[in-house]
Structure 1
Amino acid sequence: MASTPDLGVPAPDFTLPGIVLSGTEVERRDFTLSAHRGKPIVLAFYPGDDTPVCTKQMCAYNNELEKFADIGAEVWGISPQDLDSHEKFAQRHGLQQPLLADPAKTVIQQYGVGLKALGLKRSVFLVDAEGVLRWKHVATLGLKFQSVDTLTAQIAALA
């Protein structure tokens, strides 16, 4: 398994297809990390749509999107499920943050969070406005996730 990228270096760039739920409408489009320079991005890698811990994590982030927006940040969820799965997941739980699909696990491998039989390690990477990786947390077991308060404090420390 590849190691996670080092802090202080440019975050590995990528383009992945994703969905964004706005009200009841779903938009499908590509998301490119380097195209979002100028604001911090939280990359939240999660193992699976509609699994208990992942649902709690994505709902917690969704419920506090305003806190992220207040400090100029976005949250992108990334998992190996396809767009249809993400769409159902977002609609079922009212998730407004982009959910990106990485079924080939290309980006998961770039960030060194893949697991052979289990998919991926629950992980969060904070990319600053210039595209540099500033903070990361890679879970050993993935039964817990980083809180909104922890993430927003890390983002605020970049200013």
Structure 2
Amino acid sequence: MELKVGDRIPNFTAKDTDGNVFDSRDFVGKKALVIYFYPKDNTPGCTTQACGFRDQYEDFKDLGAEVIGISGDDVSSHQKFARQYKLPFILLSDNDRKIRRLFGVPSNMFGLLPGRVTYVTDRNGEIKMIFDSMMASKHIPIALKAIKKLAL
């Protein structure tokens, strides 16, 4: 079942880039979140998207939001990806695709490619914006605009 605007994000845990357990409950109630699901580390579109979020990360932080990237890659892949592109935000490993299913992120290209979807939540975990597009570079300005609206 797909999450929709107005739904609360479900509680979830996953391993972060350092191999530590990330718990969504440590963030909900404290800050707005930009949670973006992407297909795979070190692919052209995913690298463009990650670097776009990296380049605007301070803008998100200044508006009180945290950026979290989620893919099916394992922790060591995330470590290399984050190190190579100097990614300052959280990357989570969803290699069993449990979080992707929890959010209802659809697959693309006849189910062959994990979808690329960005969710923006307010500080209480309520989804305020969902953007589903394989156009990697479009996610950043749309997410930033949604976060700016929350900051007003």
Q: TM-score, normalised by structure 1?
A: 0.86
1:137 aligns with 2:131: yes
TM-superposed CA distance for 1:148, in Å, is: 2.9
Residue in structure 2 matched with residue 15 of structure 1 by the alignment: 13
1:100-146 CA distances to partner (integer Å, 9 max, x unpaired)?
0000000101111142742411100011101111110112xx14343
Alignment of 1:89 onto 2:87: no
The answer for the alignment partner of 2:21 in structure 1 is 30
Backbone CA RMSD of aligned residues = 1.6
Letter in 1 for 2:7: V
Letter aligned with residue 128 of structure 1: D
Count of matched residue positions in the alignment of Structure 1 and Structure 2: 148
Q: Is the 8 A contact 1:80 1:119 kept in 2?
A: no
**Higher fraction of helix:** 2
Give the secondary-structure state (helix, strand or coil) at the position aligned to 1:158.
Answer: helix
1:9 shift after superposition:
1.9
Match for residue 115 of structure 2? 121
**SS, match of residue 138 in structure 2:** coil
| Runs (5+) with no aligned partner, structure 1 | 20-26
% of aligned pairs identical?
31
The structural deviation recorded for 1:28 is 2.9
Q: TM-score, normalised by structure 2?
A: 0.90
